[in-house]
Amino acid sequence: MLTPLEGAVATIVEIFHKYSCNEPHHDKLSKGELKCLIQKELGNILQSEISVTSFSTRNEMLSPKTGTATKTNRSAPSTQQTIKGDLSQLENAIETIINIFHQYSVRVGHFDTLTKGELKQLIDKHLVNFLKKQKDHASIDSLFKELDKNRDQQLSFGEFMVLISRVTIATHEHIHQGEGGQQHQH
């Protein structure tokens, strides 16, 4: 059984396939297919008032003594609170990824980044089926070092999304191998 994060990744692949099967190149999106996917699957997000800063500052509180940002014990509000209407499957998948990241990022250090320990906990609980071989300490160290592009010993959401993108691409490749197709690259 897939975890919610793994389900979100599978949904992204499923939505891609839903729109990429209409043209002669069944594994690529044409401009028209991409436009249709964006309009139908991301319409709520695009029509909402979500800004880039709404996700990066929503748990931040200024300490009255120091004036610096500190983590809060509050849970992060979901995107559902800022979007009107029902979320599409793709929007739900995006929300799941964001919410799971924030479940771990608020635990230690900066409120909107993952430490190596937080990443390990997230992988152990939420990517158990997809990253079975990434559980030992050396693998986590190597993965963290590779993802931490700015070498600040923490992963921003963008750096974390590199991992999610890789997992999504690997899932896509695995689906095609299971269909008897040859492994392919995009």
Model confidence pLDDT, tens digit, residues 42-56: 988 887 755 444 443
Percentage with pLDDT > 70 across the chain: 70
Q: How confident is the model at residue 61 (pLDDT cuts 50, 70, 90)?
A: very low
Domain topology for 4-49+77-178:
Recoverin; domain 1 (1.10.238)
Model confidence pLDDT, tens digit, residues 89-138: 999 999 999 999 999 999 888 889 999 999 999 999 999 988 876 667 78
pLDDT at residue 83, as a whole number: 58
- pTM for the model: 0.75
The dihedral sign for the CA sequence 46, 48, 52, 55? negative
Model confidence pLDDT, tens digit, residues 149-174: 999 999 999 999 999 999 999 988 88
Assess whether pLDDT exceeds 60 at residue 58.
no
Write down the domain spans for the chain: 4-49+77-178
For the chain, the three-class secondary structure string (H helix, E strand, C coil) is CCCHHHHHHHHHHHHHHHHHCCCCCCCCCCHHHHHHHHHHHCHHHHHCCCCHHHHHCCCCEECCCCCCEECCCCCCCCHHHCCCCCCCHHHHHHHHHHHHHHHHHCCCCCCCCECHHHHHHHHHHHCCCCCHHHCCHHHHHHHHHHHCCCCCCCECHHHHHHHHHHHHHHHHHHHHHHCCCCCCCC
